[in-house]
Structure 1
Amino acid sequence: MTSRTPQTVVHFSSDFRLPGFDAPQPAGDYRVDHDEELVEGASRFAWRRIGAFMHLPAIATRASTQQMVPINPADLEAALAKDLEQS
């Protein structure tokens, strides 16, 4: 099966926390990978999201270690909406 991983950048204006994170993350820009697989239909193609991962720490942060943490896209959208309300 064919797959792809588009990458986006999300911005948080204030500290945030997603389920499964050990601690709140500071405001900043974060890379997010969306793993998708191709779904073939009779007349067209579509992509189905099968996973999402956030890169930690934030892009501008210099750190000796980096990690990719699995996230739920719905949790990310909720955290971004909350952050927008607080700004």
Structure 2
Amino acid sequence: MSDLSSTRTTDTIVHFSTPFALPDLVGEVHPAGDYKIAQDEERIEGLSWLAYRRTATYIHLPSIAQGNRLRRIVRIEPTALADLLAATNATQELSR
């Protein structure tokens, strides 16, 4: 089990300019807008330099503009997210 000092979460904001669907949420189409993406990483121990490995990636639904109503966090595979970003010409920026 990792202690808190060896883990980190990196948040980004992704702007989808067109509606999109997530592979694991069949039948749901999400509107264009800004969405928060969170990536959890853990430090790789035993190296002579600081390195991290991604352990999970999440998208926060609904979009930021829609506020906190019925907010949920959905896990997404990094390759599926990369494919979705490329397919929708989405842009992303580090939020912290």
Per the normalisation by structure 2, the TM-score is 0.81
Structure 1 gaps of 5+ residues are none
Query: Partners of 1:14 and 1:39 in 2: how far apart?
Result: 37
Secondary structure of 1:40's match?
A: coil
> Within 5 A, what are the aligned runs for 1:7-86?
7-22=11-26, 23-84=28-89
Q: Which residue of 1 aligns with 2:94?
A: none
Aligned length: 85
Task: Give 1:8's aligned amino acid.
Answer: T
Query: Partners of 1:71 and 1:56 in 2: how far apart?
Result: 12
Secondary structure of 2:48's match?
A: coil
Task: Give 2:63's aligned amino acid.
Answer: A
Q: CA deviation at 1:40?
A: 2.3
Task: Give 1:55's aligned amino acid.
Answer: H
Query: Partners of 1:62 and 1:49 in 2: how far apart?
Result: 28
Task: Give 1:12's aligned amino acid.
Answer: F
Task: Give 1:75's aligned amino acid.
Answer: A
Query: Partners of 2:45 and 2:39 in 1: how far apart?
Result: 19
Secondary structure of 2:44's match?
A: strand
Per the normalisation by structure 1, the TM-score is 0.89
RMSD: 1.6
